[in-house]
Structure 1
Amino acid sequence: MEICGDFIQYLNNDTSMKILMILDDPYDLARVSAVSTSWRQFVIENGLCKQLSLRICPQLSNVVDIVEFSSKRGAAGSSPSNPRILRELEMDHKVYSFLACGLMSSVTEDCIEVAMSASSTDNYPEESIENTLETSNRIEQRASYWSSKGEMDPAVPETLVYKLSANLCVISEIHIQPFQAYFQFGFPIYSAKAVRFHMGHLKSPFEMERDVLESSSTQRFSDEMFVWTYISPEFPMAQVNDVQKFRLPKPVLCIGGILKIELLGRVQRQEMDGLYYICLSHVQAVGRRLSPVLDVDIIDQTGRCSLKYHPEADYYASTENREPGSSTLQSISSTLVHRSVRSWEHIILNALLTNGVLPDYEDLDDNLIA
């Protein structure tokens, strides 16, 4: 070990970058930054976590700045006029580490939180879009589904709009179950011919928050109120009474938290009135919301945005429902500090590997950073 050399100190910057840019796992970068002070400095100063995040998700190129919110310092932004360049680089390192780990995570869940609007509803509210959030097609002996209005032309499309559980969600696939009318002759299934998915944000996010909070109506949002930053390929739908899983070509980071499902064409005519309908019993957006320490503010309609970093958010989220005497991920990091962990790299690595909260750089004793 005494004759081992540090290639970062011996090689030029470009060669070292080519070597470390081969790494495509954010946890590997965390381990690299834990090797030594010089390696950590190289990773941070060259923004390797940010570059990895951009390779995983090019949509992050729309991020123009990072704003930190802390009870200790209030709000601090990465303003060009801020002379503390090192602090800015470390902030980028922490935030993009969280982003990269979230983008690579294999944990999935249903990310739909609120049903916002439907282009039409046959019998509102009995056949509302809100019924698609139920996992069963029967609620208290009553059929549970969304139904469009009837149309003479089977080519007329329909759209459903949902608010996701966070402004930053990675969506990998959409699950849709058409409704089978078990109370009609022949048990017809009212699927669409095809489906397409849009993701994006509202043009005026504050208006959306006010409307969602103040009204339970799902009919007030029109398509002109949204900006769609991603549009999927068109997927054919089968006329079967089963959950159909539409996997996206690659996972999509939805910045803004809005999902639109576009139902293209109708296949089933109702015998009673001779009109074509589309009916769905259940919808899921399968993916994951990113760490609660991260949020986003949309700046303009081009999709430019500011990342918001809340280092204490994960701590408060974890303490809301934990039992007395149980430890939190942040307390793990604090324990590491008090045990005289000799470098910041070890704290970054342990926090990332446990999906915990990174402690503030300024809170560490100088002898721990050295």
Structure 2
Amino acid sequence: MKNGDDFLNLLPPDLSMKIFTSYEDPSDLVRISAVSRSWRHFVIKNGLCKHLSLRMFPQLSRVDHVHELCGPAKGHAGVGAGASNFMEWETLEREHRVYAFLAQQCSLLAVGDCISKAIVASSTDNPEESIDNTLEPRYSVARQASYWSSKGQSNPAVPETLTYKLVADLCVVKEIRIRPFQAYFHFGYPIYSAKSVRFRLGQIKCSPDNHVDESSQDSCNDKFSWTYSSEEFEMAQENRLQRFKLPEPILCIGGILQIELLSRVQSCEIDGLFYFGVSHVQVLGRPLSPAFDIRLHEPCEKFVLVVQSYSQAALPE
């Protein structure tokens, strides 16, 4: 360093890779690529920003290629470079920009409620006990309790699902919150919680005739493709907004969240059947729209990651 030597020229490539891939903050890789031309070349050539993004979000392994609707002016691969080398380097530079920006935005701390609308419940006891009521944070509206209730079952092991559309097709999900329903109009004020819950993230399957009927009481699970399933989380039989933090932030590709309620714990004294009841649901995370978009490929196993704007103003507050 005293003589201005670059350690990249002095170390074996695999050792240099080990050093550079030890970074976990995407901002560090961006700063490293600005140190010198040789360091920038090393970061881009070896796809280090893409490597870091895949380490943060394994779901990105389904990216077929990246695309920019905006971006810097075309660069030069170097004097005497062939057309194939130029195209290859241009692709590497584009991936560097896209994945560096994606990793940076995913690592920001700002989060909010990411639910856009309720799609369907696997069952509903009465029309006024719709899944739509779970989007209402208040416990009662117009002096009426606001909640969703499943149909009753004699077997408490029968599960139920609640499926929601998120605010964007690309969201970083960090935490789900659920408030079980307490029936103050039943004797003993029972709480119709689940013993445990599980979460799935994914998308609606690509098919022209694959329409999800929001009024249907079918689970519609065959209409969705799941890219992430969580472990089971224990739920308390308590009337409060319970927090279920995922082990690590998950990138939801497709904008669909499903909550699976497992093991009924409360029966209704009127009919002796077991029910689930939910008052409110929140999904805490960060939408990456409108800066990013996705284009799903048939049959939805791969997708194109699209950058629509590199402007910070294109991202939500």
Indicate the TM-score class for this superposition, using the shorter chain for normalisation: 0.7 to 0.9
Matching residue of 2:149:
147
| Residue among 111, 125, 131 paired with 1:129 | 131
In the alignment, which residue of structure 2 is the partner of 1:362? none
SS at match of 1:262: strand
Decide which moves more: 307-316 or 35-44: 307-316
Aligned pair count?
308
2:293 to 289, 292, 295: 295
Give the 5 Å matches for 1:329-340: none
Pick aligned residue for 1:233 from 226, 231, 234: 231
Aligned-pair distance for 1:83? 5.4
Tell me if 1:68 matches 2:68.
yes
Match of 2:248 among 247, 250, 253: 250
Q: Alignment RMSD, CA only?
A: 2.8
Letter in 2 for 1:133: L
2:11 aligned residue: 11
State how 1:36-75 maps to structure 2 within 5 Å. 36-70=36-70
Q: Structure 2 stretches of 5 or more lacking a match?
A: 74-82
Letter aligned with residue 151 of structure 2: K
Output the TM-score relative to the length of structure 2. Answer: 0.87
Check whether the contact 1:171–1:253 (CA below 8 A) recurs between aligned residues.
Answer: yes
* Partners of 1:177 and 1:242 within 8 A in 2: yes
More helix by share: 1
DSSP 3-state at the match of 1:84? helix
Question: C-alpha offsets along residues 269-302 of structure 1, whole Å, 9 cap, x if unaligned?
Answer: 1222222211100111222223532122232456
In 2, distance between residues paired with 1:187 and 1:98? Answer: 50
Mapped partners of 1:303, 1:172: distance in 2: 24
Larger mean Cα displacement after TM superposition, 143-152 or 5-14 = 5-14
Asked whether the 8 Å contact 1:229–1:303 carries over to 2, the reply is no
More divergent stretch after superposition (250-259 vs 301-310): 301-310
The answer as to whether partners of 1:188 and 1:268 remain within 8 angstroms in 2 is yes
**Residue 174 of structure 2 aligns to a residue in which SS?**
strand
Does 2:119 correspond to 1:116?
Answer: yes
Distance 2:34 2:4 in 1: 17
1:205/1:282 CA distance change after superposition, 3 Å: farther
Does 1:201 pair with 2:200? no
The one-letter amino acid of 1:117's match is V
Alpha-carbon spacing, 1:226–1:138, altered in 2? closer, same or farther (3 Å): same
Q: Alignment partner of 2:69: what SS? A: strand
Distance 2:300 2:157 in 1: 31
After TM superposition, give the deviation of residue 96 of structure 1 in Å: 0.4
Alpha-carbon distance in structure 2 between the residues aligned to 1:31 and 1:2: 21
Does structure 2 conserve the Cα–Cα contact (< 8 Å) formed by 1:196 and 1:262? yes
SS at match of 2:92: helix
List runs of 5+ in structure 1 lacking aligned partners.
Answer: 74-79, 319-354, 356-370
Q: Which amino acid aligns with 1:109?
A: G
Letter in 2 for 1:28: D
Equivalent in the alignment of 2:93 = 90
Partner of 1:347: none
Aligned partners of 1:17, 1:205: CA distance in 2, in Å? Answer: 42
Report the Cα distance in structure 1 between the residues aligned to 2:14 and 2:126, rounded to whole angstroms.
64
| CA displacement at 1:164 relative to structure 2 | 1.3
Q: Kindly, what percent of the aligned residue pairs are identical?
A: 52
Give the aligned residue type for 2:231.
Answer: P
Counterpart CA distance in 2 for 1:269 and 1:82 is 68
Q: Which one of 169, 172, 175 corresponds to residue 173 of structure 1?
A: 175
1:200-219 map, 5 Å: 200-204=202-206, 217=215, 219=217
Does the CA contact (< 8 Å) of 1:102 and 1:291 recur in 2?
no
Q: Distance between the aligned counterparts of 2:227 and 2:120, measured in 1?
A: 19
Task: Describe the SS at the equivalent of 2:263.
Answer: strand
Q: Kindly provide the CA deviation profile for residues 10-45 of structure 1, in whole angstroms up to 9, marking residues without a partner as x.
A: 434333222211111101111111212222222112
SS at match of 2:171: strand
TM-score (norm 1): 0.75
The CA deviation string for residues 65-113 of structure 1, in whole angstroms up to 9 with x for no partner, is 112224999xxxxxx9895222211110111012212332222222211
Paired residues of 1:112 and 1:284 also in contact (CA < 8 A): yes
